[in-house]
Copies of this chain bind each other. A is one copy, B any other.
Amino acid sequence: MLDIDKLSLNIPDTTKPRVVIIGGGFGGINLAQKLKCRDFQVVMLDRQNYHGFWPLLYQVATAGLEPDSIAEPLRKMFGSDEFEDFHFRLVKVIGVNPIAKTVSTLVGDLPYDYLVIATGTKTNYFGNEQVKKNAFPLKQIPHALNLRSQLLQCFEQASMTADPQLRQSLLNFVIVGGGPTGVETAGALAEMRKHILPTDYPGVDFNKMNIYLVEGMDRVLPPMSPEASAKTLKYLQELGINVKLGVVVESYDGYVATLKGGEQIQTQTLVWAAGVQGALIDGLPAEAIERGRILVNPYNQVIGFDNIFAIGDIAMMKTEKWPKGHPGVAQPAIQQGKLLAKNLKRLKNNEKLEPFEYFDKGSLAIIGRNRAVADLPKDIHLGGFFAWVTWLFVHIMYLIGFRNKLVVLSNWVYKFFTYENGTRLIIRPFVRKGDRAKRKFINKYDME
């Protein structure tokens, strides 16, 4: 019997100072990799046993890659002898007690000397419970697999109906949010429509498949340069994507999306990539939180504490150049993680800390098969095929793990020459919670 009372964090005692890192994202892993474990005992807590390379998550959703291509087991990353006093625990963190200097988890508390909050973000539904219930988020691998199943099920069902209204609702796809996730998902879906789906589903007329990209601001990729936005819009429209700018989705009941202004789109699939919010944990004082992120000083110390740090997306470090904090992409997390490793050593030796300075390496987004946009330092803006190649190499370079790089690269080369996605598998059919009619229908794999 798995008795929860008999589980504990079971971390060995140590004479070294203990650094507890919550989260194995870009911030957490870069910190742990630089820290090694010579001067500290390092404990990493996460609810997943892997590090995910989220910029490629849309590829899992659109049947381009399997999860192992974008995820690396955390224990594998820290399994070598360099990390002998590193301890990973797969457990959910409930809160922090800054006075007792402990973190609370589902299986008990753990004292820390230094605590690093690197929990990243989660989907922001802006309080719309109906959307939360019915839309497809795209932040985690199970989300991507659910969306993949849903897309393929829609095409299968579209081939099995003569009812024009039902078929149209199966072939309408609404993607909410014109950031990189929304743009890249829409682009990949448009490529599928062009190259894959007509062969796979000869009985379905894909001229009737509509891809809507709905963005509340007046341009796509709002964090990028206006040049990049304009190019991206052009690319999206060339791919036949119906881009709606300055429009928000007000409600979605699983079947009909109602846009502000009253327009309605019948769709069984609404992807919600409209925003994120910090994945906060309980126990920090209200003064340390602003708009869902944790306020930190230039050393990533949480306001009011010298031994609690926040790095990456969850941290808000206001600077002159970034008055609202750094952008929510991988680079600030990576750079803050690396710097914090140095600063923790300095702190331990009572040396002066080094303030964080963000080195902006630029932004990239990919739209379909061989089009991308890039804002590089020194005001260089790239588009088209050259930006696509840049995108490819930057992403593969940062992919963790030798094997993943090879798999992803060979997949891409293969796709590029064959227009062929490999993984159009419905492993676990998706059924919306409470959708009894669909559950009854669905071809659930026989669990015998």
Contacts and interface: CB of A to CB of B under 8 A. Distances in A.
Given A2-B166, A122-B446, A441-B4, A87 B203 contact: yes
A221 B8 CA distance: 41
B157 A7 contact: yes
Given A137-B448, A142-B445, A446-B140, A8 B440 contact: no
Nearest to A149: B49
A223 interface: no
A94 B152 CA distance: 23
A425 interface: yes
Given A91-B443, A279-B446, A447-B137, A425 B50 contact: yes
This protein's copies in its complex: 2
Contacts of A435: 2
Contact of A437 (B2, B137, B406, B446): B2
Interface stretch (A66-74, A240-248, A294-302): A66-74
A397 interface: no
A143 B447 contact: yes
23 contacts: A3-B163, A3-B166, A3-B437, A4-B441, A6-B166, A10-B159, A47-B445, A49-B426, A67-B427, A68-B422, A73-B425, A76-B424, A80-B199, A89-B156, A89-B160, A90-B160, A91-B160, A137-B448, A139-B448, A140-B446, A141-B427, A406-B410, A407-B407
Given A2-B437, A125-B448, A141-B427, 18 more contacts: A2-B166, A2-B435, A7-B161, A8-B161, A10-B162, A48-B443, A49-B156, A67-B427, A75-B201, A79-B199, A87-B203, A89-B159, A90-B156, A92-B443, A122-B448, A142-B445, A403-B414, A403-B420
